[in-house]
Amino acid sequence: MTTIHEPVTTTATPEELSVWPSSTTEPRPGDATVGGVSLAEVAGRYGTPVYVLDEGEVRRRCRTYRDAFPETEVHYAAKAFLCRAMAHWVMDEGLGLDVCSAGELELAVAAGFPADRIVLHGNAKTPHDLKRALWYGVGRIVIDSPSEIARIAAAVGPDGHQKVMVRVVPGISAGGHDKIRTGTEDQKFGLSISDGYAQHAIARILDQPQLELTGLHCHLGSQITDVKPYLAAVRRMAGLMARLKEQHGLTLRELDIGGGHGVAYRPGEPAMDLTRLARKVRAELAEACAAAGLTVPRLIIEPGRAVVGPAGVALYRVVSVKHTGGRTFVAVDGGMSDNPRPALYGVRYAPRLVGRRGSADLAPVTVVGRHCEAGDVLAADARLPDDVRAGDLIAVPVAGAYHLSMASGYNAVGRPPVVAVHDGRARLLVRRESLEDIHSRDVGL
């Protein structure tokens, strides 16, 4: 595929395109391109559903983080989306990597990602997870429960060495939905400051000579667009660091405040201002450490969604349009098996008709998936041209994070492929899951 060089005569407004990759153009009305590649051509070549990932946008967002946080260690949160190409882009741009399982770790290492730039997370790390992490030599393991201390120490052995951090619950509520708020006391992650479990775990780690405690970790949640929760977290973590210095003479050199930086899914929605976040967090950390007589620790952050989410576009083919009960349902050939987020969190998107110029008159529609669930809704309050019909191509922006990484095998439909676009070229990163793939796992009668 080659880049189209025709004059741009777009029908989309700048506001509508604000949630699309920055490379998005419309050389002809309705014919949207991303990374110089026509989305209609991608759908024709690779079929639908298909996920399009703008390599240039991913790299640009990695550089934005490096520029906004120049003295900070930035780790990409692989749970948002990971494939070998994604790991390679992140590595190229100088970021580290957070993984939550042996599977994510193996995939990253297979792409050539240095293990010492990888951090292992997880509230319930299996023996296999820990074994592979230690075998590869990951940079740090984040301890999430007291039982992990003895398990890691035993696995390392008396002559071994492993850097660890402790995930602390700072008691701060932040995030776009109850199910993605992880900084409060009433969820499964981390060790609480208020009940003393975090302090007790730290004391136990200090008794294990083969474990090197490098710092503290916290993660408040996801889809946070306000800077204030991070500032509160910095103050509480600095307070704990001061108490640890007083009690144990311990000076911790790292502070990881997690990620969760919010992005806009629809035009007009707020997103995290990274420049402001960086400036405010650095100032708050310096002030809190000065007040407590602490050396300022190296800051670590863990963006995932904010790196890859806005770089992705999901393409679906309309299967049917149904008018019933006073509503219009536009059914597409994907759904909750490739994007469960609307069903889980009530996420709202702004889909667009691409591939042809539709009617200028927009109508309210509900874009639904093909699965046998009433909750299989991709966009409950979308506005599409009133002449939308079967065979049309629908594009959903901000589809790079937590779609395919959370995909399922529901209805044995098969997960869609991932196609990278960059400089007018498209290439397959992850192939479509076929029926043969699904059948091959079924080994008995």
Q: Are 312 and 403 in contact (CB under 8 A)?
A: yes
The set of catalytic residues is: 372
Q: Which amino acid is it at 194?
A: S
Q: Is 27 exposed, middle or buried (0-12, 13-18, 19+ CB in 10 A)?
A: middle
- Phi-psi bin for 161: left (phi > 0), alpha (psi -120 to 50), beta? beta
- Rounded-to-integer distance, Cα 148 and Cα 86, Å: 30
Q: Please check the confidence at residue 339 and state whether its pLDDT lies above 70.
A: yes
pLDDT interval class at 4 (50, 70, 90) = very low
pLDDT of residue 409: 94
The CATH code of the domain at 55-309 is 3.20.20.10
Q: Are 65 and 90 in contact (CB under 8 A)?
A: no
Q: Is 84 exposed, middle or buried (0-12, 13-18, 19+ CB in 10 A)?
A: middle
pLDDT interval class at 186 (50, 70, 90) = low
Higher-pLDDT residue of 387 and 170 is 387
Give the residue carrying structure tokens 């730039």: 117
Q: Percent helix, strand, coil in the chain (nearest 5)? A: 35, 25, 40
- 14-54+310-440 architecture in CATH? Beta Barrel (2.40)
Tokens, residue 72 = 């900070």
Q: Which of 359, 364, 350, 420 is nearest to 392 (CA)?
A: 359
pLDDT of residue 137: 97
pLDDT in tens, 296-320: 999 999 999 999 999 999 999 999 9
pLDDT of residue 73: 97
pLDDT of residue 2: 35
pLDDT interval class at 166 (50, 70, 90) = very high
pLDDT interval class at 408 (50, 70, 90) = very high
- Rounded-to-integer distance, Cα 63 and Cα 435, Å: 39
Q: DSSP string of 257-293? A: ----B---SSTT-----HHHHHHHHHHHHHHHHHHHT
Q: Are 274 and 65 in contact (CB under 8 A)?
A: yes
Taken as a whole, the chain contains a residue count of 445
Q: Are 367 and 332 in contact (CB under 8 A)?
A: yes
Percent of the chain exceeding pLDDT 90 equals: 84
pLDDT of residue 187: 60
Q: Spell out the long-range contacts of 185-189 with Cβ–Cβ below 8 A and sequence spacing 24 or more.
A: 188/123, 189/123, 189/144, 189/219
**Mean pLDDT across the chain:** 92
Higher-pLDDT residue of 168 and 8 is 168
Q: Please check the confidence at residue 6 and state whether its pLDDT lies above 60.
A: no
pLDDT of residue 179: 44
The stretch 267-280 carries a mean pLDDT of 95
Lowest mean pLDDT among 125-134, 170-179, 277-286, 390-399: 170-179
Residue 302 phi/psi, 5° resolution? -135, 70
Q: Which of 414, 308, 398 is nearest to 352 (CA)?
A: 398
Percent of the chain exceeding pLDDT 70 equals: 94
pLDDT of residue 206: 95
- Rounded-to-integer distance, Cα 428 and Cα 80, Å: 19
- Rounded-to-integer distance, Cα 9 and Cα 444, Å: 57
pLDDT of residue 188: 67
- Rounded-to-integer distance, Cα 309 and Cα 20, Å: 10
Lowest mean pLDDT among 187-196, 229-238, 361-370: 187-196
How far is C-alpha 415 from the geometric centre of its chain's CA atoms? Answer: 18
Q: Please check the confidence at residue 182 and state whether its pLDDT lies above 50.
A: no
pLDDT of residue 347: 87
Give the residue carrying structure tokens 């660890």: 164
Break the chain into its structural domains and give their ranges: 14-54+310-440, 55-309
Are 14-54+310-440 and 55-309 in the same CATH fold?
no
Q: Please check the confidence at residue 20 and state whether its pLDDT lies above 90.
A: yes
Angle among Cα 357, 9, 361 to the nearest 5 degrees reads 35
Provide CB contacts within 8 A for 324, sequence distance 6+: none
Q: Please check the confidence at residue 177 and state whether its pLDDT lies above 50.
A: no
Q: pTM for the complete prediction?
A: 0.93
pLDDT of residue 1: 39
pLDDT in tens, 192-247: 887 888 889 999 999 999 999 999 999 988 899 999 999 999 999 999 999 999 99
Q: Please check the confidence at residue 3 and state whether its pLDDT lies above 70.
A: no
For the chain, how far is it from start to end, CA to CA, in angstroms?
46
Q: Are 10 and 391 in contact (CB under 8 A)?
A: no
How many helices and strands in the chain, by DSSP H and E? 13, 21
- Rounded-to-integer distance, Cα 419 and Cα 424, Å: 13
pLDDT of residue 9: 42
Tokens, residue 263 = 């992005």
